[in-house]
Amino acid sequence: MEHPTPTPPAMTTGRDTVFTPFNVVAGIIIFIGCILTVMRFAKGIGGVTNLDDTNPWGIWIGFDLLCGVALAAGGYVTCAACYIFGLKQFRCAVRPAILTAFLGYGLVVFALQYDVGRPWRLPYPIFLSQGTSSLLFEVALCVFLYLSVLMLEFSPAVFEWLNWKHARYIIGKVSMVLVIFGIILSTLHQSSLGAIFLIVPSKLHPLWYSGYLPVYFFISSMFAGMSMVIFEHSLVDRFLHNKIDAEHHVESNNVALGFAKAAAFLMSGYIMIQVIGIAIDNDWHYLGTRWGLWYLIEIIGFVALPAIMFAIGVRERNIKLIQRTALWAVLGIVLNRLNVSLVAFNWQLPLNQRYFPSWMEIMTTIFIVTIGVVAYKFIVTRMPVLHVHPDFPDDH
pLDDT at residue 119, rounded to an integer:
83
Q: What is the DSSP letter of 218?
A: H
- Using CA of residue 60, residue 187, residue 333, residue 77, what is the dihedral sign? positive
Q: Do the Cβ atoms of 272 and 212 come closer than 8 Å?
A: no
pLDDT at residue 131, rounded to an integer:
64
- Is 0.85 surpassed by the pTM of this model? yes
Is the residue at 10 inside a domain? no
Q: Above pLDDT 90, what percent of the chain?
A: 62
At 309, the amino acid letter reads M
Instruction: Round to whole Å and give the CA distance between 372 and 26.
Output: 11
Is the residue at 234 inside a domain? yes
Q: For the domain that residue 252 is a member of, what is the CATH number?
A: 1.20.1630.10
Is the residue at 2 inside a domain? no
Q: What is the pLDDT of residues 173-218, one digit of tens each?
A: 888 899 999 999 988 889 999 999 999 999 999 999 999 999 999 9
The count of other CB atoms within 10 Å of the CB of residue 391 is: 11
pLDDT at residue 38, rounded to an integer:
94
Instruction: Round to whole Å and give the CA distance between 113 and 122.
Output: 8
pLDDT at residue 395, rounded to an integer:
54
pLDDT at residue 277, rounded to an integer:
95
Query: pLDDT at residue 10 above 70?
Result: no
Is the residue at 35 inside a domain? yes
pLDDT at residue 132, rounded to an integer:
67
Residues 6+ apart with CB under 8 A from 328: 302, 305, 306, 309
Nearest-CA neighbor of 102 among 218, 203, 186?
186
* Domain total in the chain: 1
Instruction: Round to whole Å and give the CA distance between 318 and 138.
Output: 41
Is the residue at 229 inside a domain? yes
Instruction: Round to whole Å and give the CA distance between 108 and 208.
Output: 24
Instruction: Round to whole Å and give the CA distance between 94 and 79.
Output: 6
Q: What is the pLDDT of residues 267-286, one digit of tens each?
A: 999 999 999 999 999 999 99
pLDDT at residue 130, rounded to an integer:
64
Is the residue at 387 inside a domain? no
Query: pLDDT at residue 339 above 50?
Result: yes
Residue-averaged pLDDT of the chain = 88
- Positions of E strands within the chain: none
Q: Provide the residue range defining the domain that includes 111.
A: 24-351+363-380
3-state secondary structure (DSSP) of residue 105: helix
Q: What is the pLDDT of residues 72-122, one digit of tens each?
A: 999 999 999 988 888 888 888 899 999 999 999 999 999 999 998 888 877
pLDDT at residue 230, rounded to an integer:
95
Q: Do the Cβ atoms of 50 and 58 come closer than 8 Å?
A: yes
Is the residue at 385 inside a domain? no
Is the residue at 286 inside a domain? yes
Q: What is the pLDDT of residues 209-261, one digit of tens each?
A: 999 999 999 999 999 999 999 999 999 888 888 888 777 777 888 899 999 99
